Structure 1
Amino acid sequence: MDQEDYGEGQATLGDRLTAAREGAALELGDLADRLGVRVETLEGWEADQAEPRAAFLGRLSGMLGVSLVWLMTGDGEGPQDGDGLRQMLRAELRDLRRTLEEGAQRIDRLERMLGED
């Protein structure tokens, strides 16, 4: 994918969003779940029938590994190559493991407080 194909005037926000989601190897449903929106909402954004609010744009750029400027205008860093995507996924896995470990510790603590094993 040549980033020039996504320059201002050549591609829409929806086009760039679709390219970034596909570049991150995410299905519509997976990204919608991670964002906490309905699949239909995300489909509307990708089809340029609606635009995400500013808060969602920031989250989308982070989740998809693209710069916010690229997502909005087509200028700057677009979809990552395979190595960049792998690094992003590894970082997300580390965060998930940490969250799961913290959750397991909380469960253990609550069970001890209740006297359950």
Structure 2
Amino acid sequence: MLDDNRLAHNDETLGGRISLARDAKAFSMEHAAERLGVLPSSWRAWECDRDVPRGNRLTTMAGILGVSPSWLLTGLGRGPMRPGIDGHAQDLPQVMRRISKEIEALNERMRQIALHLDDDASARNKGP
């Protein structure tokens, strides 16, 4: 499944989605395990689908990885963001400036179209 700014989650298993979300955050397995308070071997077992985290761990894991628990379980819901959208706050002002310029250009284009439509309507009302 693809979304405009979301990664494809072509991994069809819980372990695959855990791995994808961890990669999107640029966390090593060791760092992710430390943040969750588990051994790296436990995290590795989850990513390799050799074991499954308990519900409370899965919920905490989802928070650490920035995804919804339902996405981890099913692939539906809020998944990981592409690099550059999530976790790169320094890029946000630049993105906002670019979007603002695009909005200004679209507004100007709409004003031009509205003027053109008004001119056409005036011409039709004058008649031959």
- What's the TM-score, normalizing by structure 1? 0.65
2:39 aligns to what?
Answer: 38
Per-residue deviation at 1:83? 2.2
More helix as a share of residues: 1
Residues in 2 aligned to 1:2 and 1:54: alpha-carbon distance in whole angstroms = 24
1:72 is the counterpart of 2:73: yes
1:84 aligns to what?
Answer: 86
Q: Which amino acid is 1:57 matched to?
A: L
Q: Which amino acid is 1:2 matched to?
A: A
Larger Rg: 2
Q: Which amino acid is 2:85 matched to?
A: D
- Which runs of 5 or more structure 1 residues have no equivalent in the other structure? 88-117
Residues in 1 aligned to 2:8 and 2:28: alpha-carbon distance in whole angstroms = 22
Deviations 1:50-79 (A, max 9, x none): 000011111111110111111110012211
How many matched pairs?
Answer: 82
Per-residue deviation at 1:86? 3.1
Per-residue deviation at 1:2? 1.8
Tell me how large the CA RMSD over aligned residues is: 1.3
- What's the TM-score, normalizing by structure 2? 0.60
Q: Which runs of 4+ in 1 moved over 3 A?
A: none
